[in-house]
């Protein structure tokens, strides 16, 4: 447009100019118009740009991928680096043809936390109340727990720690990861293996009167194997002489002092917390308060979370706001025990008495099982 205006102004004087002058003037005006329409920096190019798929190095030095558009499919050497930089400097917003991909957020953030090896493990004992402790403590917002028994340290150790980590729930940095496998307490290799994972692991042991625990263990096994021999036949090598068969697992588990000696070779007593299976029934809030203290948690799980189910003879969790009914443990919890001969029970109490006394001395607490 500027060239046209300038030519119109000069046209009245064109009769005074020679033909040669007119030609030179025309060439000069054409050059000015060409320069105005095609700036020099778009013609000059930097050849040999190997960057594929229209990638450019922007002013911040980071590579970005530009969305393919009609202008993007031009030869790469026709779109130099300095052109992109100058365009971005002239306008802080990327031009509409420059769609710059942003990096995806870390996967851990998308899934809210990461899988970590457990900070605390409920290691025993079977039929002591381990499931109840796990279900009660996981109400706490700072606790996440594996839902099933992993049996890593006694049956699956050869699978490796990464396999074990994969079984854990995702937790935030402030949360505690837990799992429970009651057979750990009576497995000889387990203390060393847990210590090798982390010497800082906190251990929880739920203990119960060993006689009552053995009867409960037998009752559970009997429901799965109705043809099982009688309790007395399994518990005694010679009942008339009071000789107890310690090879039977139901009896062997109750020798708490012997098992604890093995754990104390690898962990200090301060790192092991003992929950009373009897008090867990009569005072669940009090036992959970001590568990929370041991784990370094604020006391959030309190008596307001529990009510006593008279049918099961066991405490249950009160109805949460998001649920339509209270939450009790499964049908196998709180079942009626098999009736055992009174003389057999007294013989077992005599057998366990020295082991119980030694256990009380080791942990510094009298559980009053006599």
**Where is pLDDT greater, at 310 or 191?**
191
Q: Is 90 among the domain residues?
A: no
Decide if 33 is inside a domain.
no
> 335: annotated binding-site residue?
yes
20 located within any domain: no
Band of residue 26 on the pLDDT scale cut at 50, 70, 90 = low
Mean pLDDT of 24-40: 61
Non-local (6+) Cβ contacts of 221 within 8 A are 228, 250
- Does any domain span residue 103? no
336 appears as a binding residue in the annotation = yes
Give the H/E segment covering residue 114.
strand 114-115
Q: What is the DSSP string of 211-227?
A: HHHHHHHHHHHHHH-TT
Residue-wise pLDDT tens digits, 196-251: 999 999 999 999 999 999 999 999 999 999 999 999 999 999 999 999 999 999 99
Entry pTM = 0.69
Q: Is 127 a catalytic residue?
A: yes
Is 127 annotated in a binding site? The answer is yes
Q: What is the pLDDT of residue 164?
A: 98
Cα 247 to Cα 250: distance, rounded to the nearest angstrom: 9
Q: Which residue range forms the structural domain that includes residue 226? A: 114-363
* Active-site residue, from 126, 127, 180, 202: 127
180 belongs to a structural domain: yes
CA 166/CA 21 separation, integer angstroms:
87
CATH number at residue 128: 3.40.50.300
Sign of CA dihedral 26, 32, 36, 38: positive
Q: Which residue has the tokens 């194997």?
A: 225
Tell me the mean pLDDT in the region 152-168.
Answer: 98
Share of the chain above pLDDT 70, in %: 66
Q: How many domains does the chain have?
A: 1
Q: Is residue 311 part of a domain?
A: yes
> Is 124 a member of any domain?
yes
108 is annotated as contributing to ligand binding: no
| Residue 246 labeled ligand binder | no
Residue 348 included in any domain: yes
Cite the beta strand spans of 172-296 per DSSP E.
176-180, 202-207, 236-238, 243-244, 272-276
The pLDDT-based confidence of 362 (bands split at 50, 70, 90) is very high
Element (H, E) at 145: strand 143-145
Q: pLDDT tens across 57-114, in order?
A: 333 444 444 344 444 443 434 444 443 434 434 444 443 333 334 344 444 444 689 9
Does 79 belong to an annotated binding site? no
Tokens read off for 221: 């096994």
């Amino acid at each position: 447009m500027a060239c046209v205006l300038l030519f119109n102004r000069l046209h009245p004087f064109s009769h005074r100019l020679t033909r040669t002058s007119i030609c030179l003037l025309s060439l000069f005006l054409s050059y000015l118009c060409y320069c105005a329409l095609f700036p020099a920096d778009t013609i000059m190019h930097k050849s040999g740009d190997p960057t594929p798929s229209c990638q450019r190095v922007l002013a911040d030095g980071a590579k970005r991928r530009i969305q393919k558009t009609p202008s993007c499919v031009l030869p790469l050497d026709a779109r130099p680096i300095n052109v992109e930089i100058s365009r971005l400097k002239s306008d802080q917003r990327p031009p509409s043809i420059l769609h710059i991909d942003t990096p995806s957020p870390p996967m851990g953030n998308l899934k809210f936390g990461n899988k970590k090896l457990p900070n605390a493990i409920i290691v025993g004992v079977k039929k002591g109340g381990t499931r109840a402790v796990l279900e009660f403590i996981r109400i706490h917002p700072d606790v996440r727990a594996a839902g099933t028994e992993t049996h890593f340290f006694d049956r699956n150790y050869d699978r490796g720690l990464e396999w074990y980590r994969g079984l854990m729930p995702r937790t935030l940095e402030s949360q505690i990861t837990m799992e429970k496998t009651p057979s750990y307490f009576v497995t000889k290799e387990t203390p060393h293996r847990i210590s090798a994972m982390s010497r800082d692991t906190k251990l929880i042991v739920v203990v119960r009167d060993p006689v009552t625990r053995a009867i409960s263990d037998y009752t559970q096994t009997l429901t799965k194997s109705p043809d099982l021999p009688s309790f007395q036949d399994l518990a005694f090598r010679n009942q008339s002489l009071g000789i107890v068969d310690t090879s039977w697992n139901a009896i062997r588990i109750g020798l708490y002092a012997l098992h604890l000696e093995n754990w104390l070779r690898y962990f200090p007593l301060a790192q092991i917390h003992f929950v009373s299976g009897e008090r867990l029934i009569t005072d669940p809030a009090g036992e959970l308060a001590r568990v929370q203290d041991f784990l370094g948690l604020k006391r959030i799980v309190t008596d307001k979370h529990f009510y006593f189910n008279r049918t099961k003879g066991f405490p249950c969790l009160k109805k949460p706001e998001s649920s339509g009914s209270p939450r009790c443990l499964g049908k196998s919890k709180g079942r009626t025990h098999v009736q055992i001969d009174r003389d057999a029970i007294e013989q077992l109490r005599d057998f366990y008495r020295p082991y119980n006394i030694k256990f009380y001395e080791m942990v510094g607490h009298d559980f009053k099982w006599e």
